[in-house]
Chain A
Amino acid sequence: MIYFDNSATTKPYKEVLDTFVTVNEQFYANPASIHEAGTDANILLDRARNQIAQIFHTDERCVIFTAGGTESNNLAIFGISKANTHKGKHILTTDIEHASVLEAYKSLEKEGFEVEYLHVDNSGVISLEELKAKIRKDTVLVSMMHVNNEIGSIQPIEEAAQIIHANSRATFHVDAVQSFGKLPIHFNGDNGPDIITISGHKIHALKGTGIIVFRQKMNINPLILGGGQEFGIRSGTVAVPQAVALAKAARIAIENLNAAKVRYRNWHKGLIQFLSKFGDLIHILSTNSGVGHIVSFSVKDLKGEILINALQDRGIIVSTSSACSSKQKKTSHVVTALNVDPKYKNGVIRLSFGAFNTDEEIERFKTEFTYVMKELKGVNL
C-alpha cells in the first residue's frame, strides 16, 4: 500500500513508539506525586517540555501538553477570547481554517463576540490589505493557519504578525498543525505569533496528543478544570509517555526539516508538471507558492470518491480534500472559498506526503493515475 494521506494522519515512527512503550513500562508514576517514582516521571516530563520549548524559542513554562490539535486550537481561541473581554470582543480568522477553529469562532459569535473573516485569493492566501483594514484596537484574537490542510497554501505569518502587533493588542494564534516539521515556525517577538498549536499524529507521533505553546506567560481561561496540572491551564493527570513521545517526534521533525522540504518540493514540482499534461481536464488547487507536501487537484466532472476508489484498487491511498470533512457530502468550505469553477468542485482529491514516502512511490502514482484516467475518462497521455 502506498500511503499518501499524511495530512489526515501519519504512521508513528518506530523510535517514537519505543519511547512510548518504555516510558509506560518504567516511568508510569503520576508526575505530581512526591515519591521518587513520581519525581522521576516529573523530571522526564520537564525534559520533554524543555525540548519543545527550545524548538519554539520560548520558555518551558509556556509549553502545555494537550490531547490533540483540536483541543489546542479550542483552548487558544476560547481561552484567549474569554480572558480578554475587558480589552474587546472583536475576533478575526480566515475563511479557510480547520473546523476546530471555525466552529470555535461560530460558538463565540453566538455568545456575543463580533467575528470577522479574512477572505483568500485563488491560491488560498489572505490579503494583508484586508487584514490591515479589519484589525481594530479592540481586536483580541487573530487565528490563522500557517499551512492549509486541504490545498497547502501558506499564509504570510511574519507580515501578518507585524500588522496585528502594530495595530492592536490582539493575541496572534497560529495553527501550525499542517506546517510543523515542514516549514520553520517559532516565536520571533512582534514579527511572529503569540500562540502556536500543533498535533502529534501529524508528525509521526501518537493520536490523542497535541501541544499549545505560548510566546510568553499570558492570561488564558482554561477549558478543562481540575487538579491544576500544566500550570493550571490544562487540568488532568499529564500523559507523560505521550508527551515524551511527542517531544521525540518533534525533535526528529526539526532535524529532518530541511531535507524533507527539498524532497517534498521536488515531488510537488514533478506532480504539478505531470498533472498539467491533462490540460483542462484537471484543475490544480495547490500552486507552486504552497507547501511541498500537499498536492490537491480535481478532475473535471468526476466525483472525488470515484477517483479514490479507483486508485485504492491499484494500491494507492489518497483522500478527498480533508479527512475531517470528507464524510460530509457538501463541498468543502475551503474549495468554496477559492471560487473553484463548479465543474471541478466535486472532484477534489489530495495527496499528502510524509516521512515514509519514497521517490518510487511518486513515480508509481503517475503510472497508476494515467491508467485510471484512461479507464474513467478515456484519455491517453
Chain B
Amino acid sequence: MEWKEVLIRYGELSTKGRNKKEFINRLRDNIRNTFKEISPLNIVTERDRMHIQIESNDQMNILMEKLPKVFGIQSFSPVAVCDKNLDAIKLLAIEIMKDFKDQNLTFKVEVRRSDKSFPYETHELQREIGGAVLSHYGNLTVQVKKPDVELRIEVRKDAIYMMAQIIQGAGGMPVGSNGKSLLMLSGGIDSPVAGYMMLKRGVRLEAIHFFSPPYTSQNSLEKVKVLANELSKFGYKIRLHVIPFTDIQVLIKNRVPENTIMTTTRRMMMKIADKVREEINGLGIVTGESLGQVASQTLESLTAINDVTSTPILRPLIGYDKLEIIDIAEKIGTYETSIQPFEDCCTIFTPASPKTKPKVEKVNYYESFTDFDELIDKAVQNRELYIFPMVKPKEDKFDGLL
C-alpha cells in the first residue's frame, strides 16, 4: 500500500474566528518543529484541515508515533492512493479495511468525485467497493446511518485517495498560540503535569528550578532536566532556568521562626520567578499547586505566598486529586521520572509542623528584619540556562555495551 498523506483535523481552533489563520500557521510550524528529523515536510493548510505529504513509509511511521502528542490536532488519518481503475480501488479498500476485520463493525463507503470524468458514478463505486469489502471480511456489515467506520474515497485528477482510520489527536491548542509563561518545575509529580496542562491550552513555557547543593544532589537536577526534556516533546522548545538557591535558603533558616521557614521560602521563590518572568517577557507563572495537598497549598498559604506579586499565577491542578494528577503524569510519561527519590529544595529545612494558616502581616513582619533582595538579584543573575529538547545527545558512556 502506498501512503500519500496524513490528513489532520484541527482541534478547538476550528472555532476561533479571526485568529484562525494565526492558529493554523502556528500548528503548521509546531509540526515542522516536531518533525525536524524528517524535514522538510510538505504541508498544505486549508481552512478546516491540513495535509502532510508523505514520501516514504518511514516518514509515515514517525508521523504516526509522534502526531498524537502534538496539541491543536483533534484527529488525523493516514491516506493512501491508488491508480484510477476499479480493481486497484477494490484492492486498496480491502487493504485499508483490514484493520477492522476482526471486530463486528458497521461501515459505509463515502465517495467524492471531484474528477467528474471518472467513468464510474458515485453509486456504482459505493456498490462495487462496498461489495468487495463485504465479501472479503465476514464480520463487517453495511450501515449508512451512523456507521462505525467510514471508508472515504476521493476521485481526484491524479489518483484515487482513500482512508478509513481516524486516530485521536491530543486536542487542545497549538503551543505558542496563547502567550508565554514561566513554569515552576520542582521535579515532583505535579509540576510537569501543570506544565502539560498549560501547553495543552497553547501556552508556551519556560521553566524555573531552584537548586540547593549540597542539600540537593546533582541527580535531582538531572531529573528536572529529563522532565523539561519530556515537556519539550509537546511541540515547542523549553528553556530551563536553574537558580542557585542555597544561600537564600540558609539565610531564611537563620532569620525567620522555624514554622515560617516554609512560607518565606516559597515567597522568595515566587519573587525570583517573577523577576525571571519579567526578563523573558512571560505573562504568568505556572505552579503545580493543588488545594490542600500540603501545608504550603492551603488557601491561607497560597494567599501569603501570592502576596509578593501581582502577576497572574496559573494553578491548573488546583482542583485535582493526587490520583487524578498521577493518572495524567503516567499518561504523559513523566511519572516514572518524578518518583525517583531525590531530595528537592522544598523538603530541606522544613520543620515537622509548618504553619498551615500563615498570616500575611506576620510573615511580612518576620521578613522585615532581613534584606533578601541583594541575594535574590544575585541568584537571578547567576542562573544557569538549559535548552530542551537537547540538541546534541550527551556522549554515550555505554557505547558498544549493548
Contact = CB atoms under 8 A, between A and B. Distances in A.
A36 B341 contact: no
A212 to B, nearest CB: 20
A-side interface size class: 10 to 19
A23 B218 contact: no
Interface in B76-107: none
Contacts of A248: 401-402
Interface in B188-229: 217-219
A276 B265 CA distance: 85
A251 B397 contact: no
B219 A22 contact: no
Contacts, number: 27
B219 A34 contact: yes
Interface stretch (A43-51, A144-152, A352-360): A43-51
B341 A47 contact: no
A22 B219 CA distance: 24
A34 B341 contact: yes
Nearest to A48: B402
Contacts of B342: 34
Contacts of A247: 402
Interface of B: 217-219, 341-342, 397-398, 400-402
B219 A244 contact: no
B88 to A, nearest CB: 30
Interface string A36-61: 10011001100110010000000000
A40 B397 contact: yes
B402 A51 contact: yes
A332 interface: no
22 contacts: A19-B400, A19-B402, A22-B401, A34-B217, A34-B219, A34-B341, A34-B342, A36-B218, A36-B219, A39-B219, A40-B397, A43-B398, A44-B398, A47-B398, A47-B402, A48-B402, A51-B402, A244-B401, A244-B402, A248-B401, A248-B402, A251-B402
Contacts of B341: 34
Contacts of A40: 397
Contact of A19 (B217, B397, B401): B401
Contacts of B400: 19
Given A34-B341, A34-B342, A44 B401 contact: yes
Contacts of A34: 217, 219, 341-342
Interface string A43-83: 11001100100000000000000000000000000000000
Contacts of B402: 19, 47-48, 51, 244, 247-248, 251
Interface core residue of B341, B342, B400, B402 (most chain A CB under 10 Å):
B402
A170 B341 CA distance: 37
The list of the 5 closest CB pairs from A to B, nearest first, reads: A19-B401, A44-B398, A248-B402, A247-B402, A244-B401
Nearest to B222: A39
Contacts of B217: 34
Contacts of A23: 401
Interface core residue of B342, B397, B401, B402 (most chain A CB under 10 Å):
B401
Interface string A9-29: 000000000010011000100
Contacts of A36: 218-219
Contacts of B398: 27, 43-44, 47
Contacts of A51: 402
A40 B401 CA distance: 13
Contacts of B397: 40
B343 to A, nearest CB: 10
A19 B398 CA distance: 10
B362 to A, nearest CB: 38
B322 to A, nearest CB: 21
Nearest to B397: A40
A19 B218 CA distance: 28
Nearest to A43: B398
Interface core residue of B217, B219, B342, B398 (most chain A CB under 10 Å):
B398
Interface in A69-118: none
A181 B334 CA distance: 34
B217 to A, nearest CB: 8
A36 B220 CA distance: 11
Nearest to A241: B401
Interface in A237-251: 244, 247-248, 251
Given A39-B219, A44-B401, 4 more contacts: A19-B400, A19-B401, A34-B217, A40-B397
A244 B401 CA distance: 7
A27 B399 CA distance: 13
Interface in A133-150: none
Contacts of A244: 401-402
A22 B401 CA distance: 8
Nearest to A44: B398
A191 to B, nearest CB: 9
Interface in A304-340: none
A41 B397 CA distance: 11
B286 to A, nearest CB: 29
Contacts of A19: 400-402
A248 B219 CA distance: 27
B347 to A, nearest CB: 15
Nearest to B341: A34
B226 to A, nearest CB: 11
A183 B342 CA distance: 43
A40 B394 CA distance: 13
A44 B398 CA distance: 7
A66 to B, nearest CB: 19
A39 B218 CA distance: 11
A51 B401 CA distance: 12
A23 B400 CA distance: 11
A48 B341 CA distance: 22
A363 B219 CA distance: 58
Nearest to A40: B397
Contacts of A48: 402
Nearest to B336: A61
A346 B342 CA distance: 63
A51 B402 CA distance: 8
Nearest to A251: B402
A123 to B, nearest CB: 30
A251 B401 CA distance: 11
Nearest to A39: B219
A34 B398 CA distance: 19
